[in-house]
């Protein structure tokens, strides 16, 4: 059925389908961004109490990612299907809960819209085949990981490790890069940031980044190969500098307060994944390189 649809539906229709699918997935990614860190913290507390031979954790287990229905974080009212229509519900409700009128975070529509746009761009770039499908998975994991890191300064192993292993497995086909390139890039990506971390810590006594950043860059390397690592780091630094200066200028972030670097690595990695060859060609044309 799918091969037939690939030949019948026009390219633009697949891009539209990817955008709509991205809206739906974006709604689920909001759940992941909000609930996964809470579940991680609960699991850590429970494990720590067990190791220290303390009484078991008495706090209730946070809601799961799939089974528990969505509810308003303020009045705890269970949301109906009409309240959960991606993007549209937030607009119709004017950003407020239907039941208690409390403000609904703009994170919800932003994540849904961003996921939709990025999903459409991936299918525009790679098409609706296997390259596009795995590109969508790559994109969705990056959105979830970035959202969690932005909110909590945590990059969960539950997201970075599957992204890394999936990239390595796909290299066996090979899908995007050959196995040798994927393995080498994963090792270089991890060790490069690991080395910078320790140099910075030895010189300043402070931690400049977290281990999740090492794992994320390793995962990006597994998907794109060693030649992508330097452009990703340069782009992530540029994006981070621009956003950091803008937030400080708008007084949305105080000087000296740490900012998560993972979202910038993820953004740079996604950009290079989708339009990297064109950016490289444009750079070579601009500098006169051949």
Q: Identify whether the C-beta of residue 176 lies closer than 8 Å to the C-beta of residue 170.
A: yes
Cβ neighbours around 92 below 10 Å, total? 12
Cβ neighbours around 30 below 10 Å, total? 23
Gap between the Cα atoms of 23 and 111, Å rounded: 8
Q: How confident is the model at residue 253 (pLDDT cuts 50, 70, 90)?
A: low
Cβ neighbours around 225 below 10 Å, total? 22
Look at residue 97 and tell me whether its pLDDT is greater than 60.
Answer: yes
Q: Identify whether the C-beta of residue 112 lies closer than 8 Å to the C-beta of residue 87.
A: yes
The values of phi and psi at residue 71, to 5°, are -145, 160
**Can you say whether the dihedral through the CA atoms of 239, 272, 19, 37 is positive or negative?**
negative
**H or E segment to which residue 22 belongs:** helix 11-51
Q: How confident is the model at residue 257 (pLDDT cuts 50, 70, 90)?
A: low
255-285 b/e with 16+ CB inside 10 Å = b? eeeebbbbbbbbbbbbbbbbebeeeeeeeee
Gap between the Cα atoms of 258 and 247, Å rounded: 13
Q: What is the pLDDT of residues 213-222, one digit of tens each?
A: 999 999 999 9
> Per DSSP, what are the bridge partners of residue 169?
none
Over residues 173-196, mean pLDDT: 95
Gap between the Cα atoms of 10 and 17, Å rounded: 11
Q: What is the pLDDT of residues 137-170, one digit of tens each?
A: 999 999 999 999 999 999 999 999 999 999 999 9
Average pLDDT, the chain: 85
Look at residue 77 and tell me whether its pLDDT is greater than 70.
Answer: no
Percent of the chain with pLDDT over 90: 50
Look at residue 130 and tell me whether its pLDDT is greater than 90.
Answer: yes
Tell me the HSE value of 206 on the side-chain side, using a 13 A CA sphere.
Answer: 6
Gap between the Cα atoms of 199 and 210, Å rounded: 13
3-state SS of 125-177?
HHCCCHHHHHHHHHHHHHHHHHHHHHHHCCCCHHHHHHHHHHHHHHCCCCCCC
Q: Which of 184, 181, 145, 188 is nearest to 163 (CA)?
A: 145
- Least confident residue range of 4-18, 140-154, 174-188, 258-272: 4-18
Q: What is the pLDDT of residues 23-76, one digit of tens each?
A: 999 999 999 999 999 888 888 888 888 788 787 777 777 777 777 777 767 777
């Amino acid at each position: 059925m799918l091969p037939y649809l690939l030949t019948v539906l026009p390219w633009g229709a697949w891009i539209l389908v990817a955008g709509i699918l991205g809206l739906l997935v974006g709604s689920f990614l909001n759940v992941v961004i909000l609930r996964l860190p809470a579940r991680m913290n609960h699991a850590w507390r429970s494990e720590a109490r067990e190791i220290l031979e303390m009484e078991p954790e008495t706090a209730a287990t946070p809601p799961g990612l799939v089974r528990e229905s969505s509810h308003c974080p303020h009045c705890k009212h269970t949301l109906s299907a009409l309240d959960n229509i991606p993007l549209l519900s937030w607009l119709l409700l004017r950003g407020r809960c239907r039941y208690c009128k409390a403000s609904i975070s703009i994170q919800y529509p932003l994540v849904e819209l961003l996921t939709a746009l990025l999903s459409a761009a991936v299918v525009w770039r790679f098409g609706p085949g296997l390259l596009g499908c795995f590109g969508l998975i790559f994109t969705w994991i990056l959105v979830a990981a970035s959202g969690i890191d932005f909110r909590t300064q945590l990059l969960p192993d539950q997201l970075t490790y599957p992204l890394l292993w999936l990239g390595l497995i796909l290299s066996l086909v090979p899908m995007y890069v050959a196995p040798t390139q994927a393995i080498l890039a994963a090792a270089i990506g991890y060790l490069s940031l690991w080395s910078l971390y320790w140099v910075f810590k030895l010189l300043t006594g402070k931690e400049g980044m977290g281990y999740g950043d090492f794992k994320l860059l390793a995962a990006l390397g597994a998907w794109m190969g060693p030649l992508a690592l330097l452009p990703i780091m340069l782009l992530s630094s540029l994006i981070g500098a621009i956003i950091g200066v803008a937030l400080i200028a708008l007084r949305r972030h105080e000087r000296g307060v740490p900012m998560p670097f993972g979202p910038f690595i993820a953004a740079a990695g996604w950009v290079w994944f989708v339009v990297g060859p064109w950016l490289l060609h444009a750079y070579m044309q601009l500098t006169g390189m051949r």
